[in-house]
Amino acid sequence: MPISKLPSLFFFLLLLLLVLPDANSIGVNYGTLADNLPPPATVAQFLKSQTIIDRIRIFDVNPEVVKAFAGIGILVSVTVPNGDIPSLTDPWTARRWVNANIKPFYTATKIHYICVGTEVLHWGPQNIVDHLMPAMRVLHATLIKAGIKDVKISTPHSLSILFSSNPPSKASFRPGWDVGSLTPILRFHRETKSGFMVNPYTYYAYSPGNERYCLFKPNAGLYDKVTKKKKLGYPDVEIIVAETGWPSGGDPQNTHANPGNAAAYNGGLIKKVSSGVGTPLMPRRKFETYIFSLFNENLKGPSLDEKNFGLFRPDFTPVYDVGIMHKSQSTSPSPRSPSPSPKSPSPSKPPSTRGKRWCVPKPDATDVALQSNID
């Protein structure tokens, strides 16, 4: 089983490298911490018509965004803010929340998951941690009572839930969280047939010594001879990678944050999840994955890295090419050759838009109307 001497989060990602249900699909996180992004309706049409992206995850329940994806066919996962979690343990409050944020858009928008908080165990405080599992159960029961049976409940975890995973056979959840928090969550996922979400960022485990392994470049690898990995059981619970990505730029000291590495990582990831191979532990098993993120977001921070995780600029030009555009000519974004210094993919340059204007059809525009306008 190939491994390398990396921090625990990279090992965990390698156990999760996935195969999506559709070999040509990929998910993306659609963040909106920017003051220069296009309207959500335009974004929805762009993703549908120009990319292979078939699912998005947003970090709130912004009605403008959720409504924009009505009739598009793209799966949408929404998020409950961490601070709202304790109140949702009350069935009456949960019913009001579902009535306000889910029912008005369901089923026109294909709402896929409700993410209850983000990395709650990592960030706390304890009051929110204690209310996480009860809120998940109450929201699930509220959906069922409302007749909404195909929207699932989960919560994304950072990899701080792991005590160690170097090598993977020594992997375990942190003491205290394992039985107190994660076992009830895993039991809930088994009962409701929902996925266990994690946010692995190999970017933060980078070092020059592990670059080839970290960026999906050819490498010799090492082997883990032990296979006892399932500490808590629940092998039937599906795993979803809710966030993973690599920035194309960053603070001066972070020279590994560059377009070439971002293209190699995300391109290699897409190639891996579309390959149908699965992982050594989970061969031919299918998981969802969401790249972080859709756009560069100029209001994120404090580091420059946080502003530059996007696949696209706000004008929809790709920051680099990883083959997610329809009819893309770049089908191999990560290097194939095992040469010592393979050439990294180059970032695409945005075309000049000076003096140019363009338009996007309305969601309800018919082919006849479009052809008439073209004529």
* Residues forming the active site: 119, 243
DSSP 8-state code for residue 312: B
Is the CB of residue 180 less than 8 Å from the CB of residue 230?
Answer: no
3-class DSSP assignment, residue 162: strand
Question: Residue 163 CB: number of other CB atoms within 10 A?
Answer: 16
**Terminus-to-terminus CA distance in the chain, angstroms?**
59
Question: Which amino acid appears at position 147 of this protein?
Answer: G
Is the CB of residue 95 less than 8 Å from the CB of residue 147?
Answer: no
| Joined tokens for residue 44 | 């929805």
Instruction: Find residue 240's DSSP bridge partners.
Output: 197, 288
Instruction: Find residue 154's DSSP bridge partners.
Output: 115
Between CA 103 and CA 265 the distance in angstroms is 38
What is Dmax (Cα atoms) for the chain?
A: 67
